[in-house]
Amino acid sequence: MPSMALASEIRLDAHKVAVGLREQFVVDVMVNSTDPLNAIEGQLEFPEAKLTVIDIRDGGSVINFWVQKPGLISPGVISFSGITPGGFSGPSNLLFSVVFEAKENGIAALILGGIKSLRNDGQGSELVLPIRNTIIAINPGDSSTNREILVDTEPPENFNPIVESDPICSTEIISWFLPPRTRFPACGNTGYAKERWIGSIKPKVLIC
């Protein structure tokens, strides 16, 4: 079988593309990348009239530190922003998963927007990721007897960095950093990382 080249992208992987009314299902936010990435942010939009968010899970995520943990910021909008010191690359990297419940018949379009990803190249150069969205068909009828068993068994990682401000900054640019002795699990037992970015959620440089 001929090999297929890895294409960089961010996509929505729905465990089911057709569900019944009141049925729960999972959608994963996944990233393929040919270049190592150390920061990514964006939003997931969905029709609030048709879908309800039951849970948002980041167990097993490739992200080590959430600057903005995935969560609802307004009806129908989930926002996220995170960093991974040392970077990640390759196929099918999980960012987070959302458990939805269908509450109205019809077609529900789930759309990623505002995506910004930064390379782990010491410069924080941007990599533009193509986006692959998904749609869910919600069929009439009560599917309460045919629901996925959606159990989150992975505990969150114990990781509590202290974010401080840099006193040397202009009135227009605010520089933030994690103290140089902040420990990141991705750097190993003896590794430490320093991270600096412009603005509140714009990582620029990460070093292990």
Residue 98 CB neighbour total at 10 angstroms: 23
Average pLDDT over residues 22-40: 97
In the chain, where the domains are located? 9-141, 164-207
Q: Phi, psi (5° rounding) for residue 82?
A: -150, 165
For residue 57, the SS3 value is strand
35-53: buried (b, 16+ CB within 10 Å) or exposed (e) per residue? eebbbbbbbbbbbbebbeb
- With 0-12 / 13-18 / 19 or more C-beta atoms within 10 angstroms meaning exposed / middle / buried, residue 87 is buried
pLDDT at 183 over 50: no
Which has the closest alpha carbon to 148: 7, 10, 22, 5? 22
Asked whether 68 and 80 are in contact (CB, 8 A), the reply is: yes
For residue 181, the SS3 value is coil
Correct CATH for 9-141 of 3.30.70.260, 3.30.470.160, 3.30.590.10, 2.60.40.680: 2.60.40.680
- pLDDT tier at 156 (50, 70, 90 boundaries)? low
Quote the CA–CA distance of 145 and 108 in Å, as a whole number.
22
32-81: per-residue pLDDT in tens?
Answer: 999 999 999 999 999 999 999 999 999 999 999 999 999 999 999 999 99
pLDDT at 94 over 80: yes
22, two tokens: 């009141």
104-146: per-residue pLDDT in tens?
Answer: 999 999 999 999 999 999 999 999 999 999 999 999 976 554 4
